[in-house]
Every structure is written in C-alpha cells, then in structure tokens.
Structure 1
Amino acid sequence: MANNNTRNGTQARKVMVVADPTRESASALQYALSHAVLEQDELILLHVDNPSSWRNTISTFLKMPSLGSSTTASLDLGGGATAPATGEGEVDFLEEMKHACRVSQPKMRLRVLRVDMDDKDRASTILLHSKKEGVDVIVIGQKRTFSSALLGYKKSGGSMKGAKILDTVEYLIQNSQCICVGVQRKGQTGGYVLNTKTHRNFWLLA
C-alpha cells in the first residue's frame, strides 16, 4: 500500500501539527515543513474547536488576517503564491496552511482534522486524537513566557507547587506516547527554540 512506502530505507511517518490562527501555530508548521516531514510522510493539521471560545463563529472555518498582517508569521515558503482570500483581506487559516504545505511538499500526503473538545480539555483532546491516528510526532507552537517556563520546569523533589501545573504544550511533551516538539520561532532568521521530553531549549538554526 502507498501508506507504507519507504524511501532510502526510511519508514513513512505521521506528523501532526496543531493548527490555530496564531503566530505560534504558523511557526510550528514552518518548522515541520522544513525540518520534520519528508515527502513520503503524512502531515495531519489538527484544529481543536472550543465551543466556548470567543473565536468560534457560525462560519465553517475560523478566519485570520492574511499573511501580510503582523498578527501571524508568514507561511510563504518559497512558492511566492498565497491562498485565495475569502473577502475583505481575510483568508481561511486552515486553507492557507494547506496551501503552504502543498507549495513546500507537493508530494506529501496531507489531511485536515477538525475536532471538538467535547467535555475534555484541549491537551487531552490532542492526545486522544494523536493516539487514534497513530501519530509518530506532534508539533505544536509554544509561546514562551517567564510563567510558562516556571510551570514547565519539572524538578524531582522540587518544592515549587506551581511546577505541578503544566500548560498545554508542556502537558503534551510530558504525557504523549510519541515525540512531542514545542516550537518557538526566534525571529524570521533566528531559527527555532525546541522543547521535547529529552531536550530543553534546544536552539536550531533556520
């Protein structure tokens, strides 16, 4: 079957990118396309709907300002073209992410998975669907702040009570059965700061 093809002895993998209309999510996709996926792999864009979120609208997809806006990192990865606008300078962020994927990796298999949180929290929902899909790698954008760095720092025997509370990214890193990579972009040319269960604040040049 095509899904089991190998190239140069490398087994095809499933890579899941958590997709949201944010700069962090755009950076995570950029990292995945440039460093995490090969053309034989399958990329899954997972978007978790939160019915109680103010971002939730009647429209089929959430919308975000176009790539030219300062609210999101550019997803123009070399093709020069951008996804079609849906009106008034807005584009469907999932369609734009799909377009960036096809420009960067035209032969790669691509799926969009849109799910509801139901009664679970966001992190548990992502974990659930990563297991269902048999994902090998989760890539998620990470907004590093002083507080999140403290909350994400796990120290055995530590006395800091707040260290037991993990944000979504840190929870996924610590509890996913597959590799989970938290991605923070360091400017447009500064590379990425990556966090996994075994590597903390690893700086990767773009």
Structure 2
Amino acid sequence: MGKKGEGFFLSRLRANVRVQPPTTTSQHGCSHEPPTTSIEIKGRRIIVVVDSCSEAKNALLWTLSHCAQPQDSILLLHFLKAKTSQSGDLANKEEGEDESCDKPTTSRADKKVSALKTMCELKRPEVKTEVVFVKGDEKGPTIVKEAREREASLLVLGQKKQHPTWRLLMVWASQARPVTKHDFVEYCINNSPCMAIAVRKRGKKLGGYTLTTKRHKDFWLLA
C-alpha cells in the first residue's frame, strides 16, 4: 500500500474509529472529564464479539485503548450455537436434556465474559459496558443481525494469525466463490451494516496491531 493509500485509510479510520490512545486532556474537550459545555454529546455503540480465545481479548484491549471515548458504550457480544434436532419426536424427547446440557456451557461462557466486562470497568470506568448472549444457527449472520437491530456504530472482531500459504489459498478461494456464512470474520466484514474491523495483535518484535476492513486487508497500525 502506497503512502497516498495509507493516508486515505488512516483518515477514514480516524473519522469512524477515532484511532488514538485515550488521554486526560484534549484540545476539543474530549477527555475523561465530563464536557464543560451544555451540549450533550451522543456516544457511539461499539459491539465487540467476545469468546474464550485470546484474539477476542486482544480486540477488546485495542478497542479500549484506541477506540472507545468516554461518551461511548461497549457491548460485549457472545455467540452461542443453537442446538438443533432432526425430528420433532427427538426434540421433545431431548428437550430437558438440552436445557441441562446448556447450563454448564452457558455458565462457563458467563464467567469468561464477566471477566472481560470487569477488565473494561477497571481500564475504562467512564465507558459504559454491557454483556449480551445471543443464540443462532450461524455465527456470522446472527452477529450481523444483532449489529443492525442494535444500531451499532462499529463492530470489532478478533482475528487469528494465518500462515502465509493458507492466506493465499483463502484469497484464491474467495475469488473463486463468494464468502459463505461459515467464514465468520469475513462474513461480518462484508455484510455488517456499520463499519467492521478485524483486529489481530502482532508479535512482540514488531508490535502494534493488524487491522482488516472491507476495503483494506492487514493494515499494520504501530501503536
């Protein structure tokens, strides 16, 4: 990506995401302290998709340090796969079993997401944080639907590091066929009603984050 392309991407990213570390003072009055003016600043709703993976936690940390402003609210969205049965009789027979099997899974997920919510409250107590669990058959479409219904301003997703050869194969495959609902991150990026960003933390040697949007792939943000 040339310098002109990088400049355009950063300007668009700053306009939508406000990529900057939170500061205690600002020339425009955006700080941790309440605005001194009488004009109420309407915040954005930022949805961060979370799970037990480290990639989701890294995406949340990036959101807290580079994106969220005091007037914004963060919604931690955790997806749970809905159980399906092949017949009505089987559904009636296993209805009680499904409920009991769901409890341990939901309990574990609740503990992990609660820990992430606590981390948000400790790092950015001025930013409102809430948790939502959603069930669905497909992860991508379910999250896109939630982002639309909740009128999200930004959707943030954690992204795993892929081997270069695998990434080339995925690029070739995406050109040969449309992105399916099973390509969770790609599906959300391409179908989200708001700006969607996939975040991947780079290694200690290079540092920073790699950001992917609908128009830019693997943009390295050194911060």
Aligned to 1:98: 117
Structure 1: gaps (5+ residues): 1-5, 64-90
Aligned to 2:209: 192
Q: What are the residue-to-residue correspondences of 1:71-110 with 2, within 5 Å?
A: 92-110=111-129
**TM-score, with structure 1 as normaliser:** 0.70
**TM-score, with structure 2 as normaliser:** 0.65
Aligned to 1:78: none
Residues 32/109 of structure 1: CA separation in 2 closer, same or farther (3 Å cut) = same
How many pairs does the alignment contain?
166
Aligned to 2:193: 177
Q: Aligned pair 1:21/2:52, yes or no? A: yes
- Greater per-residue helix proportion: 2
Aligned to 2:103: 58
Shift of 1:139: 0.3
SS of equivalent residue, structure 2 residue 155: strand
Q: What are the residue-to-residue correspondences of 1:93-132 with 2, within 5 Å?
A: 93-117=112-136, 120-132=137-149
Structure 2: gaps (5+ residues): 1-33, 84-100
| Per-residue deviation, residues 143-181 of structure 1 (Å, max 9, x unmatched) | 1324356435798xxxx4256457211111111110000
Cα separation, 2, equivalents of 1:33 and 1:42: 11
Partner letter of residue 103 of structure 2?
Answer: I
CA RMSD of the aligned region, Å? 2.9
Partner letter of residue 41 of structure 1?
Answer: D
Larger radius of gyration: 2
Aligned to 2:157: 140
Cα separation, 1, equivalents of 2:114 and 2:126: 17
SS of equivalent residue, structure 1 residue 134: coil
SS of equivalent residue, structure 1 residue 203: strand
Partner letter of residue 128 of structure 1?
Answer: K
Q: Kindly, what percent of the aligned residue pairs are identical?
A: 30
Shift of 1:187: 2.7
Shift of 1:95: 1.2
